[in-house]
C-alpha cells in the first residue's frame, strides 16, 4: 500500500501542466509583418538553477525546460544574461529568431556558475520550443 502511494506521488510529479493560451499561441510561430519574434529557450539538459536574461528593459527568469518569446520592432537588439554575456541580434520584420540559453550550476556549490546564450537555426529552435513550457 505504501509503495503504491509513493509511486502515485512520483508519477503525479511528472504530469505536464496544460498549455496556457499564450504558450499555445507562441508555438504557432506566427510573427506580425511589422515585428520580429525572439525566442529564448533553455537548453534541455542543463542545470535546474534559475537564471535571468533581458532584452533591452524586458527581463525574464528562466528555468530548465522553459522558453520565452519577445515580440520586438525590427532592428538591432542586445540580449544580456546574468553573468554579463550578451548577444547582439539584428532582426527583420516578420521573422522569428531562436536563442539557446545554457545554464550550468549546482545549488550545493554556489548556484549558477556559467551561462551561455547563442543563436541557433530555426529548425532546432522550433523543436526546442515545442518540447518546452513558456515562462509563466
pLDDT in tens, 37-95: 999 999 888 878 788 889 988 899 989 899 999 999 999 999 987 666 789 999 999 99
pLDDT for the residue numbered 7: 39
Q: How does residue 134 score in pLDDT terms, banded at 50, 70 and 90?
A: very high
pTM to 2 decimal places? 0.81
Place of cell 513550457: 133
pLDDT for the residue numbered 16: 56
**Strand partners for 55:** 58, 79
List the chain domain ranges. 19-134
pLDDT for the residue numbered 60: 92
> Which CATH number is 19-134 given?
2.60.40
Q: How does residue 4 score in pLDDT terms, banded at 50, 70 and 90?
A: very low
pLDDT in tens, 87-118: 999 999 999 999 998 887 766 666 666 778 89
All three cell numbers of 39, joined, read 525566442
pLDDT for the residue numbered 37: 98
Cα 42 to Cα 128: distance, rounded to the nearest angstrom: 8
Mean pLDDT computed over 12-16: 47
Amino acid at each position: 500500500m505504501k509503495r503504491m502511494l509513493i509511486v502515485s506521488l512520483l508519477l503525479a510529479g511528472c504530469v505536464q501542466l496544460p498549455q496556457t493560451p499564450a504558450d499555445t499561441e507562441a508555438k504557432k510561430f506566427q510573427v506580425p509583418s511589422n515585428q520580429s519574434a525572439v525566442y529564448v529557450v533553455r537548453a534541455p539538459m542543463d542545470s535546474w538553477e534559475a537564471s535571468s536574461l533581458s532584452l533591452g528593459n524586458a527581463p525574464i527568469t528562466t528555468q530548465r525546460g522553459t522558453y520565452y518569446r519577445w515580440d520586438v520592432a525590427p532592428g538591432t537588439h542586445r540580449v544580456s544574461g546574468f553573468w554579463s554575456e550578451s548577444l547582439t541580434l539584428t532582426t527583420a520584420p516578420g521573422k522569428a529568431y531562436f536563442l539557446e540559453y545554457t545554464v550550468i550550476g549546482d545549488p550545493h556549490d554556489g548556484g549558477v556558475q556559467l551561462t551561455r546564450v547563442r543563436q541557433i537555426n530555426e529548425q532546432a529552435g522550433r523543436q526546442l520550443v515545442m518540447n518546452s513550457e513558456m515562462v509563466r
